Copies of this chain bind each other. A is one copy, B any other.
Amino acid sequence: MSTLEHSLAAAFARGGTVSELPLLLVIEDEYLLQADIEKVLTDAGFATDIVSSGEEALTLLMDGTRRPSALITDVKLAGRLTGWEVAKRIREKDPSFPVIYVTAYDRDWPAYGVPNSIVIPKPFASAQLVTAISNLLNAGTPSTT
């Protein structure tokens, strides 16, 4: 989708006035990959704030000038905090904040993840990221028919 189309989508999203897209907070410590992730999510119609560590993510959230709608986090991170710990801290403040973990060790999720989160096992396709975040932001998605 072109930039023009995104603007139009945003306009639709607000009843005719061009405006912001849903903002995703992404924690990824591999600099080379940040641009790629940004492209996948931007193509899907999201805005992104990408940071390199859990510490930066928490600082950005506490600052309050940016208001992300959801967290996408790698589990193994460069700083002292893991993705598990960042999600827990955010949920302490906002119990319904949507959380997606990306990890090669998804067997850790049943012990360390938070309830009502999604885990995307590595390796994953770009569509899995887009579908996961869409499901979390939409309300009332029926499951079993």
Collect the chain B residues with CB atoms within 8 Å of residue A112's CB: 88
| Bound Cα distance A115, B10 (Å) | 27
Tally of A interface residues using CB under 8 Å: 77
- A61 to B128 alpha-carbon distance, docked (Å): 24
Given contacts A45-B128, A95-B110, contact A142 B118 (CB under 8 A): yes
Taking the full assembly, how many copies of this chain does it contain? 6
Given known pairs A116-B140, A140-B109, the reply for A16 and B30 (CB within 8 Å) is yes
> Is A58 engaged at the interface, CB distance under 8 Å to the other chain?
no
Q: Do A125 and B22 touch across chains, with their CB atoms under 8 A apart? A: yes
A137–B118 alpha-carbon span in the complex (Å)? 11
Per-residue contact bits, chain A 100-111, to B (CB 8 Å; 1 contact, 0 not):
001010110111
- Chain B residue numbers with a CB within 8 Å of A37 are 12
Give the docked Cα–Cα distance between A122 and B39 (Å). Answer: 22
A5-39 interface mask toward B, CB cutoff 8 Å, 1 = contact, 0 = none? 11011111111100111100000101011011101
